[in-house]
Structure 1
Amino acid sequence: MAKPAAPFNLSLLDRETLQGWLRKSTLDQRLAQRARILLELGAGMTPRAVSEKLDVTAPVVFKWRKRYLEQGIEGLNDLPRPGQPRKLSEKKVREILDKTVHQVPKEATHWSLRLMAKYTDTTVWQVSQVWEAAGLKPHLSQTFKINNDPDFVEKVIDIVGLYMNPPDNAMVLSVDEKTQIQALDRTQVQLPHLPPRPGQVERRTHDDKRNGTASLYAAFDVASGKVIGRVTERHRAQAFLDFIWQIDHDTPKELDLHVILDNSSAHKTVAVKAWLERNPRIKLHSTPTSACWLEEVGQWFGHLEGKALDRGGFTSVKDLRETIKTFIDTHNKLSAKPFRWTKSADAILASVGRAENS
């Protein structure tokens, strides 16, 4: 067997490392090929012999042989490729979002990808990524509302930043109220002990009896998915203040509380502001106007409706309250899971997230 053109020494530690790579079932095949090349070279084979045995070209063998001699095993990883898509600055993302929700182009009635790219000196792909992350589709034929909140972009970035990178030693809570939940009792419902026959769904009458209403305040903990709830009789500022007090009471005192909620007037009364001044650990973050989709507690409300309310029968408001409380307790014990924001692959877009949902 011919000797290598130049000395090649593969250390015992590196040999064991490369052999360990090849035992992995999930190893990238490119790394597996490079590991085999070095192991064969380390066994004394010439680059040409290795090329023939592994069915690769000689330049490939020489490339990874040289890379190893210069950089060690770390050199087997791919170098960053040139020509990666240029990342948008936060300022540029703000500009795209601001123009989308507050302006229209001079030469058209709505924004298209090409027009926005032209006005903001970006690419069509970059505009599409921002719009996709923000849930904006102004270029499609659909109902679309221009958001008039002057602080729209700042609020979106603030709230999504809390979802993506919550502050240390703090809890992030999404708070909202579900008002006028009706205690409905169907006049006739298929009895529980009589299951539907094959091919027949559960049946109930179309009419119902109304036994009163209740409202529910809920705080969704982004980190754990657990919910703090309070059922009230009325929708008023005092009920909200009582709920904020409950949140303060039911959460660890050593943590700051960042509460995300809508722009309801009940959240801005003199009594609420005075209480917040006396309790600085609670910080309110308002969502933009017409952007309730930023409140993640809304998704939990959907689960509550679908699993406990829509097909339930309630003979009284007390019955309704007990059902809601039972659902919250069961959710916290069995179903709660952390919320994850997954709308963007780019770090900048991920910190901005979604904007106005048309």
Structure 2
Amino acid sequence: MSAPHARLITLTAAERRRLTLLAYSHTAGYQQVIRARIVCDAARGDSNAAIARRHDITVDTVRRWRGRFADEGLAGLADRPRPGRPTRFTPVQVAEVKALACQLPAETGAPLSKWRCPDLAAEVVDRGITASISASTVRRILARDTLKPWQHQSWIFIRDPDFAAKASRVLDLYARTYQGIPLGPDEYVISSDEKTSIQARCRCHPTLPPGPARTMRVNHEYQRQGALAYLAAYDVHQAQVFSHRSAKTGILPFMTLAEQVMTREPYASAKRVFWVVDNGSSHRGQAAVDRLTARFPNAVMVHTPIHASWTNQIEIYFSIIQRKVLTPNDFTSLDQVEDRLTAFEQRYNATARPFRWKFTPADLEDLIARIERHEQKELNLQQPAGCDHQPAAHALAA
């Protein structure tokens, strides 16, 4: 019986260009590269045996992909669908696993704060949903719907009845607008707050610097050398920081910071200087507004909504301080803490640019609309059928 003849391969210009790119690709899969090389060699008229020797593969492999390309073209080089192993779990069982993962453990009677895959696998077996299931199988089932019950995210509900009006006023100032009128060149916006209880933790053993295959090592034991409060004022549009250190917070330290800022140029001769502050005890309410205005007539205090410190840009600067200056905390004294803060502040002022604040009044309107829809949905779930819906407990005015 005569040996089968090798299939004749003829390439178009487009096929040759595509196969050549694939044959010399460094990112494509190995199997795809080998198949492309087989076809390119076959198009040159090489025999199956010669191609097999060149690429260290079997003649049957060369014959298979040569034949598939001759019959189907480029589409023939792709893997064909495979049935795979039969599914062990029914769609109902998979749905029950997902439903269990979407419940709080306390609602099911499990003494856990959140689900993990081994806990879910054990609970599924205990409930008789299936005789056995592994934690990795549970993880694959949850991954199909991007369910991650082992993670959690904190949030705080809006309680300020004037949230929309207060937040809009702050966001307008960041966009250099106040009460619908653009700010002039002699008007400034200051964001201010306190970072409390910055400790000086003197480690019992020296901190070791990084080395080959070793990260920085900080001793766990420490002795407290006291704590201080770091009060800072940040010029939103000039990216300049002014600060004051004190043993504790209060009206006097805050007014000292205000004195430090308002007695220097360009703020001393400015038309208006807006101070964006939260509702902390040292600058809370109308009394704080009157106190600041009485001392500096060109100062205008603007409060953020209650529990909305994320609208205060100074918090971004504080997060930078925490990451770059205070972590890990290894200071021999409070003087060293103050020196580090002062040096970083000078470095920051020399190179900083204003923050790219992206949350606009339009985004605020979308947020409020989502909250109102959420409240209405909760009311619909709580109200018995046939009852009239009551208005939300804290509707937000636009």
TM-score range, shorter chain: 0.5 to 0.7
Residue 229 (1) aligns with residue 251 (2) = no
Unaligned runs of 5+ in 2: 1-151, 178-182, 372-398
Instruction: Specify the alignment match of 2:316 in structure 1.
Output: 299
Given that 1:218 and 1:297 are in contact with CA atoms closer than 8 Å, whether structure 2 keeps it comes out as yes
Distance 1:175 1:209 in 2: 31
Q: 3-state DSSP class of the match of 2:282?
A: helix
Given that 2:250 and 2:281 are in contact with CA atoms closer than 8 Å, whether structure 1 keeps it comes out as no
Change (3 A) 1:143 1:298: closer
Instruction: Specify the alignment match of 2:40 in structure 1.
Output: none
Distance 2:293 2:253 in 1: 15
Residue 196 (1) aligns with residue 207 (2) = no
Instruction: Specify the alignment match of 2:60 in structure 1.
Output: none
Distance 1:357 1:299 in 2: 25
CA offsets, 1:118-177, max 9 Å, x none?
xxxxxxxxxxxxxxxxxxxxxxx9655432212111001100000112411211111010
Instruction: Specify the alignment match of 2:172 in structure 1.
Output: 161
Instruction: Specify the alignment match of 2:232 in structure 1.
Output: 218
Q: 3-state DSSP class of the match of 1:283?
A: strand
The alignment's TM-score, normalised by the length of structure 2, stands at: 0.49
Which residue identity lines up with residue 216 of structure 1 in the other structure? Y
CA offsets, 1:52-82, max 9 Å, x none?
xxxxxxxxxxxxxxxxxxxxxxxxxxxxxxx
Query: Does 1 or 2 have the higher relative contact order (CA < 8 Å, sep 6+)?
Result: 1
CA offsets, 1:282-304, max 9 Å, x none?
10110111100011111111111
Residue 338 (1) aligns with residue 349 (2) = no
Which residue identity lines up with residue 239 of structure 1 in the other structure? P
Instruction: Specify the alignment match of 2:278 in structure 1.
Output: 262
Residue 353 of structure 1 deviates from its aligned partner by 8.5
Residue 343 of structure 1 deviates from its aligned partner by 3.4
Distance 2:247 2:289 in 1: 19
Residue 313 of structure 1 deviates from its aligned partner by 2.1
The alignment's TM-score, normalised by the length of structure 1, stands at: 0.54
Residue pairs, 1:254-333, within 5 angstroms? 254-255=269-270, 256-268=272-284, 273-333=290-350
Distance 1:309 1:187 in 2: 17
Match among 159, 175, 181 for residue 148 of structure 1: 159
* Percent identical residues: 28
Which residue identity lines up with residue 227 of structure 2 in the other structure? T
Residue 212 of structure 1 deviates from its aligned partner by 0.3
Q: Which has the larger radius of gyration?
A: 2
Distance 1:357 1:281 in 2: 38
Given that 1:178 and 1:215 are in contact with CA atoms closer than 8 Å, whether structure 2 keeps it comes out as yes
Change (3 A) 1:285 1:356: farther
Change (3 A) 1:275 1:262: closer
Given that 1:290 and 1:356 are in contact with CA atoms closer than 8 Å, whether structure 2 keeps it comes out as no
Residue 278 of structure 1 deviates from its aligned partner by 4.0
Q: 3-state DSSP class of the match of 2:239?
A: coil
Residue 228 of structure 1 deviates from its aligned partner by 0.6
For these two proteins, the number of residue pairs brought into alignment is 211
